[in-house]
């Protein structure tokens, strides 16, 4: 049975990833920050692990809790939008929190679990077109844009550093999705976006490793 570890699996796209992978016969391990938030993940067929991915000691505890478990896919989904991001009102602490969750946490999780990868050996991170220089025509959202751009660079770096281990990496763009973060006016539902991203992960090859790929399979410019 293939195994996937999904961070931020208690709601939104993370929960939908859990539902779809569990339905496909995968063993699904998912992280939640709040133990009380794990019920939906459990009902979706996932195993619940409490971990705030921005806290290194909790990531170390997660690694210890999963001793002996090998992963086919590490799906780095946990993320935040952040607060106070308008020009002239950027809050330094809020900015750094977005970087800690959206950028540094995925890197530390990759470090923690790189030696546990087997089978497919894919590390996939949910990024955003808002992290692409080519997409920024409206300004603003400084913390979110910067943290996702930095995440893309982390994924590219991991593709190089982990190639000798046979590990493939990808930065996924889900599109604008109707979730708590995306809001009710987004054109995509989570099921469609997640199904598309799963296809990208399934089809990933060494030539794609380190790329930035939209949920529909198209390559995105940085």
Sheet holding 211-214, edge to edge: 46-50, 27-32, 3-6, 71-76, 117-126, 168-173, 211-214
CA 118 to chain centroid: 19
Q: Is 185 inside any structural domain?
A: yes
Structure tokens at 122: 């894919």
Q: Is 196 inside any structural domain?
A: yes
pTM of the model: 0.95
For residue 87, the domain's CATH number is 3.40.50.720
The reported pLDDT for the residue numbered 181 is 63
Total tally of structural domains belonging to the chain: 1
Q: Is 222 inside any structural domain?
A: no
Mean pLDDT over the full length of the chain: 94
Q: Is 221 inside any structural domain?
A: no
pLDDT digits (tens, 9 = 90+) for 22-75: 999 999 999 999 888 899 999 999 999 999 999 999 999 999 999 999 999 999
pLDDT digits (tens, 9 = 90+) for 132-145: 998 898 899 999 99
Residue 152's domain comprises 3-214
- 80 within 8 A of 33, measured Cβ to Cβ: no
């Amino acid at each position: 049975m293939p195994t996937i570890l999904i961070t931020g699996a208690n709601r939104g796209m993370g929960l939908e990833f859990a539902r779809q992978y569990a339905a496909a016969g995968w063993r699904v391990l998912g992280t939640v920050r709040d133990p009380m938030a794990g019920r939906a993940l459990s009902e979706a067929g996932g195993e619940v692990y409490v971990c705030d991915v921005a806290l290194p000691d909790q990531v170390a505890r997660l690694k210890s809790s999963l001793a002996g478990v090998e992963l086919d896919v590490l799906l780095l989904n946990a993320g935040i939008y952040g607060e106070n991001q308008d020009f002239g009102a950027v809050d330094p602490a809020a900015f750094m929190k977005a970087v800690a969750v959206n950028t540094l946490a995925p890197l530390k999780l990759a470090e923690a679990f790189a030696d546990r990868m087997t089978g497919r050996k894919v590390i996939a991170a949910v990024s955003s077109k808002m992290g692409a220089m080519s997409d920024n025509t409206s300004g603003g959202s400084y913390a979110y844009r910067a943290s996702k751009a930095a995440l893309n660079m982390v994924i590219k770096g991991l593709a190089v550093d982990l190639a000798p281990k046979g590990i493939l990496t990808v930065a996924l763009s889900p599109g604008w999705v109707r979730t708590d973060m995306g809001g009710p006016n987004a054109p995509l539902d989570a099921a469609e976006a997640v199904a598309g991203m799963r296809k990208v992960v399934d089809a990933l090859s060494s030539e794609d490793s380190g790329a930035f790929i939209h949920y529909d399979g198209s390559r995105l410019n940085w």
